[in-house]
Structure 1
Amino acid sequence: MDHDNRESWLNRVASGMAPLFEALDAPLPSRVRVAIGFTSRGAKGRAIGECWDNRCSGDGHFEIFIRPDLAYAADAMPAQIAAILAHELVHAAVGIAAGHGKAFKRVAIGLGLTGKMTATTPGDAFLAAVAPILAAAGPLPHARLDTGGETTRPKKGAPQGL
């Protein structure tokens, strides 16, 4: 399936992962928004993903952002984005207040995410579970954004947007 935009792809992948969360007794909230865009610290920040508490949103949604400048290998990007999405969805499922503690760890490990809980990576179990979800979602309509390249630095004296 082809998607018109990144957000519809992310929503399809999140919906596909919902049964994995339910199997871990950590259902996803019904109000979650996902986007590929810079996190709160912008392009210079280090976070690759971020989940904002639903109490911060004017209409009660958890708001998830995934950086647009990830993955140098195009074929690795969908799985990498899915793993970051899963990490941030764990925050939404267990509550932001849980941080990266026991509740977060239980669900993250149950999904097959590995490593330090503040910087999880996709393990073999996660990759196997998400493969059919990614196949059903189709290609990710996104390419890595080069934020450090020559094209991102305006020439001296060039006009600067609106």
Structure 2
Amino acid sequence: MAEVEFNLARQAEAAKRLMSNLRSQGVDDDQELVADTIEGGTTLLEAIQAALAEIDECEIHIIGLKAKEAEFAERRRRLEERAGRVKATIEQAMITTEQESFRLPTATLTLTKRAPGLIVTNEADIPTRFWIEQERPAPKLDKKALRAALDDQPIPGATLDNGSRSLSIRRK
């Protein structure tokens, strides 16, 4: 590719010198004569053809690479889903056997209880004290304050889930 660029630049410079010579001879506005002189005195047109072929080849590679990227992204997504299913199966096995942790030669697995998460059932029912005023586009819900308040009392429009279990895997 560098050769194509170098040759094109070299031929453009040669054509520039030819045009300068023509101008010094008083030929400025005869486009046909300038084009014929450039075509006859340089290989600029061939260099441009080679550059266009190089562009075509690059575009073909780009199309192929994009297709491979999409294929690899799909493959990565399937592998992530598979890993998630296997992790969930380990988690269920630990819950079923009532084991909070396992120490293995290659990893330590631990089940932890997560705090209950916020569930917004109807934003319109949530009291205004849980909304933060903003210029644009609209007030923002202060989820942290709402979550903390739900520990003490029920709040209309929101509730907490039951919490969940989470599997932590530490590799050795």
In which range does the TM-score fall when normalised by the shorter chain?
under 0.3
More helix by share: 2
More strand by share: 2
Q: Which protein is bigger by CA-based radius of gyration? A: 2
Structure of higher RCO (CA pairs closer than 8 Å, 6+ residues apart):
1
If the length of structure 1 is used for normalisation, what is the TM-score?
Answer: 0.27
